[in-house]
Structure formats: C-alpha cells, structure tokens
Amino acid sequence: MSLILGISAFYHDSAVCLINDGDIVCAAQEERFTRRKHDPEFPVNALRFCLDEAGIKPSELDLVAFYDKPFIKFERLLFTYLSYAPLGIQSFLQAMPLWLKRKLWLKSLIQEELKGYTGKIIFPEHHYSHAASCFYPSPFEEAAFLTMDGVGEWTTTSYGIGRARDLKILAEIKFPHSLGLLYSAFTYFCGFRVNSGEYKLMGLAPYGEPRYVDIIKRELVDIKDDGSFRLNLKYFNYMVGLTMTNQRFAKLFGGPRRKPEDRITEREMDLARSIQAVTEEIMLKLANTVHKATGMKNLCLAGGVALNCVGNGRILREGPFEDLWIQPAAGDAGGAIGACLYAWHKYLNKPREPIEERDRQKGSLLGPDFSDEEIESTLKKYQARAMRVSEDELIKKVAQLIAEGKVVGWFQGKMEFGPRALGARSILGDARNREMQTTMNLKIKYRESFRPFAPSVLLEDAPEYFEIDKESPYMLLTAYVKPDKRNPVCKEDENLKGLEKLKLPRSKIPAVTHIDYSARLQTVKEQDNPIYYKLLREFKRLTGCPVIINTSFNIRGEPIVCSAEDAYKCFMRTEMDYLAIGSYLLDKKSQPQWHEPREVWQSQFPPD
C-alpha cells in the first residue's frame, strides 16, 4: 500500500486528493468546507477530510505532491514586475507579503499542517499536474493531451502525449500570452468576477452577435494557423495592475467596463459572443495541431479553459479526434489529483493498469458523504419535519414531485469533486416546463434570468434528444437538441433581440434548451451513480421523458453544499419545494418558519 497526498493552493480553488496505489480514494475542494467560493487558502479542511476518510495519520503517508513549483512562479512574478517597473509597484507590494511569509516556504507549511509526516515533498510543474489530471484518470491507454489555462509558472498552454505510465509535454505557449487570461479579461470587462464569472460570459454569448470578432483578431490577439497566438499587451493590465484591462481596451470597445450591478446591455452580449467565437477558433486550431503532431486518436483536456463546454463540444463534433476525456475539475482544483497521479506514475514510475469501459475518476463522486444518523441529527437541530422512506419509495415520490412541477433539492451519497453538480448535490426540476428556467434562476438560485440550466439524461436515451453519440458524464460538453425535438420559430419570434429571446420555448425540453438549441448535458449511467440513474429511469417511466434539469445545490455566489446542515440552510433560504436528503423527504410547507433575513445570508455570498 502506497499513500500519496496531492495539494493545490494559493491561487484559486484549493483542494486535496489522496490516492492509494494509484487509485483515487477521495478528493475535495476547500471552498465546500469554508463556504467561501473558490477559496485559495491552504486547504486544511479538505486535508483533514481526506485523512479521516482513509482512516490514516500524516505519518502513514508515503509521499506528498504540491501541484506547481512556487520558486519558478515567484521568478515569473519578479521578472514581470521588473520588466514593467515602476508601473507594477502597487500590485508588487500587495503580492509580496504573502509570498515572503507563506508561498516561498511551502515545504515548512506542509510539514506544519501534516504533523508527523517526515517524508519527501515533490513539486511537479503546473501544466504537468494538469496533464496528469486528465490523462491518467482517462479511459485511454494512450492519448494526446492539451492543457489551457491562465498561467502556471510560465506556461499558459501545452500539449503532448500520454502512453501508459509515461507523460511528455511536446510544446508550450508562455506567459503573458494566455487564452485563459484573454477570456478572463472579457469576463472582467463585462462586469463579472474573474475566475468565477467565466460561466456567465459563456452563457451570455448566444444572446449576442459576433460583431467584435474582427476587432479582437486585429487589435488584441494574433492567431496563427496552428492555433498559437500572441496578445497585444498594450490593451491589458494583468501584468502590472490590479485590473485585467486598461483605458485603451475600454476605448476600443466604446466606453468603460460594465459595473457588476449595472444592467447587461447589447454591448456585453456582443462582446461575450465575440470572445467566445475567438476562443473556439483557437481551441479548434490547437486541437488540429495536436492531432497532426501526435497522431493520437483520442484527446484529454485540462486547465481552466477546458471548462468551456461549448468549445469542447465543437472539438468533439468538428475536430479530428475520435473521442475526448476532460478532467471534471479541470481548473486548479484538479491539480491536486494531477500532482498525486504524477507522483505515482511519473515520479515513482509505477504502472497504469487499464480499466475496461470506464475512466478512473469514479464519477467524480469523491467527497464527503453523510449517514442517515448524521442527517437525522442535523434535522433535529433545526426541528425539521421529515418523512423517512425506503430508497425505492424516495425515488418514486421525487420523480412524481418533479413531474408535478416541484423543485427538489437532492442530497445523496458522496459530494462531487469539481464545479459541476452531478446528481449528488443537485437541485432538480422538470425540463419540459417552460417556466422552470426563470423560476429556478430568480426564486431558487437568485441569479440572472439568462443563465441556462443543464439537463441530466439517461445515457442510452441521449441520442434520441441530443446530437451526440458519446458520453458526457461530467457536464463538460454541449450538444444540440435534435431537430425533431425543437419547436418551430415564427417570423415574429425571429425579430426578438437579446434577453427577449428567453420568452421562446425552443424545444420539447425548453427549460434546458439554450436559445441556440444547445444544452450542456450530463449523460447518466447506473455504474456511476445508481440512485440518480434510478430516479431518471422512474421519471421516464412516469412521463416518457428521460431528461430532467440538474443544477448545483447552492444559491448565487455560494459553493455547492457539502454537509446536511448546508443543504437544509439552502433549502430554507430559497423557494425550493422539497428536499430529498439521504432517506428523508422534507416538504417546505411543513417546516418551522425560517427567521434569517435574506439580506444577511446573501451578503455572505457576493455574486460572480
């Protein structure tokens, strides 16, 4: 038995993973415990969970891996500040105390948190951690990999080959030229939070027109035929300042950035559509180059840009690869998994055993779970009124409630690792209900009405509703709704602009059909999540439809719920109708009055 701990920390989405002889035992993000979204701090709570889950002490660990090389990252920061001095002095002074007090002394910090551990601590390069996180858990014996993010140490994009236990990077693009930072610059300019609001930008894109594509390609980014690119740095401020863009950028696009509380205008919609189009172009060109350079038939993706499910969907449909596998926690959290697996396969040179017809990620259900006894204790604490039922009865009742138009909080089994709810910490609704998207956005999530919802669909029924013939277990691919499931659009409807397009029910499953007929779907098979699969199957038996809405169990700005207490609080703070938690079913109408004022808890969770 060989136990390896992987850690990612100090940028965003800190996380910990534990593996045993190359098998992923558990993994969790720090935000789920602290309730601070994208928490970047050293993941003490996630660390404690992983050790407790495995029933071990720090002294029993054989190796610890941190997901990047802090000294090289520090070198990049110093070099950048010196290159632009004195312009970067403000951000330099703000960053240095944390580096000098903590980040440069990571070995000491890790040893302090892992009292009793005296073994080796290794530091794989950031993009090797990304590459390891997507290739090693994939179902492929050999594959190409492509990693794209903001920046690691120096690298922002890399590609290479994975074969069995081996992993090799063949080419890289270096900072400050970064696809992730380019996309985040537009996220910032459109008034959303960097490293958090990129989903909003992607969801907003179909409402706009690509009218700024030529300006972006002429002024901001020079894209080569092979997908490599260079940014025109005179428009950006992330090298030296505390903002992503500067006055030149604002002048280029007709005025200052949108303030977060301001109304979203046609300009923001068009900017979102335009940068999404440019990003997809780069992703497709890079995929073609990787295929030519490696000759591989399969591709693995990681890095924050790999969370762009629209771009991923285009690579699958239009690219040269037969199949894709994308790390569910593609951002920095997944670096904890990558660091572990790099240590096992690359550093220790241990074999990678093939697994037939399944990846090694275990459905990404790798976090804490809670017994009925623990759940009951929480419910008693809040004097909640609940009905305890068998699993079969719970499935039947919840399927019926969803069919009746009720919104149900679903808290079952191990928590997901990564940013997507996959049927363990989910809010569920009827995809056939044309009012459900607006209802869930405004009354449950308390967020913008334009945000699309994702469908969960039985794997075997996915091709009947969506233009896809592959699995999408981690909600990281978009596919179009099949033409025979779409609703016809009349001439008057074609003249609608912007958010007016929300009014149209575009398909037989309107609540999960975006205005361009796309959906960010999750295909569900029994092997990955048996109880969730059974729920979908029962819903199909009742209604004839194998598709339901699956959105994350949280409100705007809040991390996905982790504990039974988190779930009950979120249930009571929103207008959810029912909560299915373990073996218990709760009706909102039967609960004690919730006295916490909305402004109090909303202030804890700032919008993305």
Mean pLDDT of 397-404: 98
CATH of residue 478: 3.90.870.20
- Amino acid 491: pLDDT: 55
Tokens of 352: 């990678």
**Binning pLDDT at 50, 70 and 90, where does residue 597 land?**
confident
- Amino acid 99: pLDDT: 75
**Binning pLDDT at 50, 70 and 90, where does residue 567 land?**
very high
Domain for residue 365, yes or no? Answer: no
- Amino acid 467: pLDDT: 97
Domain for residue 562, yes or no? Answer: yes
Domain for residue 574, yes or no? Answer: yes
- Amino acid 66: pLDDT: 98
Structural domain count of the chain: 1
Give, in degrees to the nearest 5, the angle at Cα 477 between 280 and 267: 45
pLDDT more than 90, % of the chain:
82
CB 596 within 8 A of CB 401: no
DSSP string computed for 87-117: TTHHHHHHHHHHHHHTGGGHHHHHHHHSTT-
Count the helix, strand and coil residues of the chain and give each as a percent rounded to the nearest 5. 40, 20, 40
251 Cβ partners below 8 Å, 6+ apart? none
- Amino acid 237: pLDDT: 92
Dist. CA 561–CA 128, nearest whole Å: 30
- In tens, the pLDDT along 15-51 reads 999 999 999 999 999 999 999 999 999 999 999 999 9
Query: In this structure, how many other beta carbons lie within 10 angstroms of the beta carbon of residue 545?
Result: 18
For strand 63-66 and strand 121-122, is the pairing parallel, antiparallel, or unpaired? parallel
List strand residue ranges (DSSP E) for 93-236, in order.
Answer: 121-122, 142-148, 155-163, 166-174, 221-223, 229-231
- In tens, the pLDDT along 98-145 reads 777 778 889 999 999 999 999 999 999 999 999 999 999 999 999 999
For strand 221-223 and strand 166-174, is the pairing parallel, antiparallel, or unpaired? unpaired
Average predicted confidence (pLDDT) for the chain: 93
- Amino acid 450: pLDDT: 74
- In tens, the pLDDT along 153-194 reads 999 999 999 999 999 999 999 999 999 999 999 999 999 999
Helices (H), 544-597: 564-573
Residues linked to residue 324 through DSSP beta bridges, in sequence order: 299
- Amino acid 97: pLDDT: 76
Q: Which of these ranges, 341-350, 494-503, 559-568, has the smallest mean pLDDT?
A: 494-503
Domain membership of residue 586 as a residue range: 372-602
Mean pLDDT of 556-583: 96
Domain for residue 312, yes or no? Answer: no
Q: What b/e readout covers 206-230, taking b as 16+ CB neighbours within 10 angstroms?
A: bbbebebbeebbebbbeeeeebbbe
- Residue with the bigger pLDDT between 348 and 556: it is 348
Tokens of 552: 């994350």
